[in-house]
Amino acid sequence: MSKTIEVTDLVKVYRNGVRAVDGISFSVEKGEIFGFLGPNGAGKSTTIKILVGLVNATEGRLLVNGIDITKHQAEIKRATGYASQETAIDDRLTAWENITLQGHYYHLSGRQIKSRSEEILKMFDLYERRNDLAETFSGGMLKRLDIAEALIHRPQILFLDEPTLGLDVQTRQVIWTYIERLRREQGMTIFVTTHYMEEADTLCDRVTIIDKGIIKAIDRPEALKAQLGGDVITVLFGDNGDPASVLEKINQLPQVLTIEKNGNGTNRIMVRKEGERIVPQLFALCDKEGITIDAVSLKKASLDDVYLHYTGHAMRDADESREMHSKARMMRGRARRR
Ligand SMILES: Nc1ncnc2c1ncn2[C@@H]1O[C@H](COP(=O)(O)OP(=O)(O)OP(=O)(O)O)[C@@H](O)[C@H]1O
Ligand SMILES: [Mg+2]
């Protein structure tokens, strides 16, 4: 696979002195869905804006398709599509007017604009509503239209800044279906920021955890979770005997980290990895000692746990304030975009 984006030692210091990005390096492969995760103010939007040429980097080397983005802006503009965190739809115009306007911005011919607008609106299931004013659209429809617009010039790389923020679960899933389809059918490279951990986990090939302008971790979600280890087995013994000796033997297994008693009478067995191998051993030991098990559960470390590990705070803490913030400033009026 070839590298589509190569960022080396990127720094961004805004004029007010804020060091939004503090020396990050990463690369994105062609056809990859690459996720950026991080709390508010981590530098996610800044990184995207630099990569699409809306904000200048203070330092660093940036290659998109092997081209230095500071030197060949027109080529970068053609190769990339961008849907910003705040959607850029003009709600006084219809869906059709919005998307065709975007085609003119890229200097496409009238025929190209017509055929592509038709094709993309159909793909995003908005064609039937093309003549309706955007102000009559739901939040999910506006987001879809916004992503659709970013595709009018057939970019090879699509940058999506929080494409699902504030949307309900079903709508978020629909949006991700479109994103996956773009990758599958067109081999598009997709750089996406999200704060929904389960989305990043199932849909991104690799994720980056960024905090305060610094990259804390980059890897496949599976690998990040495996590095952290921390499978948790929770077990509730029956009251027909003392499980102490069972627990002692379990504790001696090399994969087992700690055993703690929870307030509700269950035991919490922390396992470095492969908790699924410990559970049968637990059953076998109990069988031998005549101890019954009333309930047992095994939970894998989630991407939430990984995020917590690297940033020190749960993503959920930020959710509410961020969604409110986002809704307040969402759309209305045409913003400069590409
Ligand atoms: N135009 C600007 N001028 C000055 N500071 C800015 C500007 N844009 C962003 N910042 C600051 O840079 C830092 C990073 O902001 P950025 O928008 O990149 O974060 P983010 O990770 O996208 O956050 P969020 O999750 O809230 O969208 C923040 O401290 C922010 O206040
Ligand atoms: Mg942002």
Q: Where are the domains of the chain?
A: 3-225+323-329, 230-299
12 in ligand 1 pocket by Cβ < 6 Å?
A: no
Q: Candidates 11, 16, 46, 320: which one to mutate for ligand 1, based on the most atoms within 8 Å of Cβ?
A: 46
What residue's CA is closest to ligand 1, atom 8? 46
3-state secondary structure 112-167: HHHHHHHHHHHHCCCHHHCCCEHHHCCHHHHHHHHHHHCCCCCCCEEEEECCCCCC
Report yes or no on whether pTM surpasses 0.85: no
Domain 3-225+323-329 belongs in CATH node 3.40.50.300 = yes
Q: What is the pLDDT of residue 301?
A: 75
Mention every residue, 6+ apart, whose C-beta is less than 8 A from residue 326.
85, 86, 162, 165, 166
pLDDT digits (tens, 9 = 90+) for 216-251: 999 999 999 887 667 888 899 998 889 999 999 999
pLDDT(171) > 50? yes
Q: How far is the CA of 130 from the centre of ligand 2 (A)?
A: 29
Bridge partners for 133 per DSSP: 94
Residue 300 DSSP class: P
38 in ligand 1 pocket by Cβ < 6 Å?
A: yes
What residue's CA is closest to ligand 1, atom 26? 40
Report CA Rg, the chain: 24
213 in ligand 1 pocket by Cβ < 6 Å?
A: no
Element (DSSP H or E) covering residue 190: strand 189-193
14 in ligand 1 pocket by Cβ < 6 Å?
A: yes
16 in ligand 1 pocket by Cβ < 6 Å?
A: yes
CATH topology of domain 230-299: Alpha-Beta Plaits (3.30.70)
Q: What are phi and psi of 310, to 5 degrees?
A: -85, -30
Element (DSSP H or E) covering residue 178: helix 169-186
Q: What is the pLDDT of residue 161?
A: 95
pLDDT(8) > 70? yes
Quote the CA–CA distance of 18 and 204 in Å, as a whole number.
29
pLDDT digits (tens, 9 = 90+) for 93-121: 999 999 999 999 999 999 999 999 999 99
What residue's CA is closest to ligand 1, atom 1? 14
45 in ligand 1 pocket by Cβ < 6 Å?
A: yes
pLDDT class of 261 with cuts at 50, 70, 90: confident
243 in ligand 1 pocket by Cβ < 6 Å?
A: no
- By DSSP bridging, strand 3-13 and strand 80-83 are unpaired
pLDDT(319) > 90? no
Q: How far is the CA of 99 from the centre of ligand 2 (A)?
A: 24
Quote the CA–CA distance of 236 and 294 in Å, as a whole number.
6
Query: Tokens 């990339």 correspond to what residue?
Result: 80
